[in-house]
Amino acid sequence: MTGSPAQPIPAATLVVMRERDNGPPELLIVERSAAMRFAGGALVFPGGRVDPGDHALAALHGGDADDLAARIAAIRETIEEAGLAIGVRGLGDSEAARAALYGGVPVGEVLAGLELDLDALVPFARWLPPGDVSHKVFDTRFYLARLPEGADGTASVDGNENVQLFWATAREVLDTADAGKVRIIYPTRRNLERLAQFGSFADAAADARAHPIETITPWVEMRDGEERLCIPEGLGYPVTSQPVKAAFRA
């Protein structure tokens, strides 16, 4: 007897882009601890589930409550996982903020008196895996944000969920994965392929605004005698299928 489909957990991810004088922007990449049940040992962007504190802070702002809560979650998770404050003005001690968040202090209290710039986050995508996977199912909203001018981008591991943080271009991460040196899950690969098309944050943001944010749920179908994991066309992704046997689905 099969169990009922997993209830999706709202989540948010932040793709932080650091502009360079020459070449495409670098992205902040997190290597998850191998002990983590979901995507253990994989390279991902900072992110995690939306919690009640995110909703409480979102309620103080006007707009789509779920979208605002996801933006706040993406900001909070980036502080927690990388010690970087994106979309927050005036946060002087990100390490103290990180410690408070990990200690259970609600994000609204940690960021009290500071100015949130939620418009600094540009909606990029939304992914929801099928309910037949073996792990928890996350309904994840992806946002883009530029590393603020003057910030050096110094990030540090949280000593909990991740073991390494680094900056790299989307193409560099893909090449390293293709060489078998790192692992990236299916949604991360598709998003890296899309991001590798852009030479600047402005280009990426313009592409994000030019495509509808539709929930992407991959499916499996036979193509030329091979099982492939597919996503819809027309949402900005240059690659829309991959052999199932080569896809890392966490």
Domains of the chain: total: 1
Least confident of 135-139, 174-178, 205-209: 135-139
> Mean pLDDT throughout 68-81?
96
pLDDT digits (tens, 9 = 90+) for 186-204: 999 999 999 999 999 999 9
Instruction: Pick 175 or 22 by higher pLDDT.
Output: 175
> Mean pLDDT throughout 10-20?
96
- Helix 94-102 × helix 65-82 angle, to 10°: 110
Range of the domain at 31: 9-217
Look over the chain and give the mean of its residue pLDDT values, rounded to a whole number: 89
pLDDT score of 175 more than 70: yes
DSSP E strand stretches across the chain: 9-18, 26-32, 43-44, 47-49, 88-89, 115-116, 122-127, 138-146, 162-168, 215-216, 219-223, 226-230, 241-243
pLDDT score of 34 more than 60: no
Q: Do the domain assignments include residue 227?
A: no
Q: Measured between alpha carbons, how far is 18 from 146 in angstroms, rounded to an integer?
A: 6
Q: Do the domain assignments include residue 145?
A: yes
> Mean pLDDT throughout 2-25?
86
Q: Do the domain assignments include residue 226?
A: no
Q: Do the domain assignments include residue 19?
A: yes
Q: What is the pLDDT of residue 1?
A: 39
Query: Cβ distance 220 to 214 under 8 Å?
Result: no
Going by pLDDT thresholds of 50, 70 and 90, the confidence category of residue 64 is very high
Q: Do the domain assignments include residue 80?
A: yes
Q: What is the pLDDT of residue 134?
A: 56
pLDDT score of 39 more than 50: yes
Ordered DSSP codes for 59-105 = TTS-S-HHHHHHHHHHHHHHHHHHS---SEES---HHHHHHHHHTT-
Query: Cβ distance 159 to 165 under 8 Å?
Result: no
Q: Do the domain assignments include residue 71?
A: yes
pLDDT digits (tens, 9 = 90+) for 84-143: 999 999 888 888 999 999 999 999 999 999 999 999 999 999 999 986 655 678 999 999
CATH of the domain at 36: 3.90.79.10
> Mean pLDDT throughout 33-39?
55
Q: What is the pLDDT of residue 248?
A: 75
> Mean pLDDT throughout 136-165?
81
Q: Do the domain assignments include residue 83?
A: yes
Q: What is the pLDDT of residue 45?
A: 95
Q: Do the domain assignments include residue 147?
A: yes
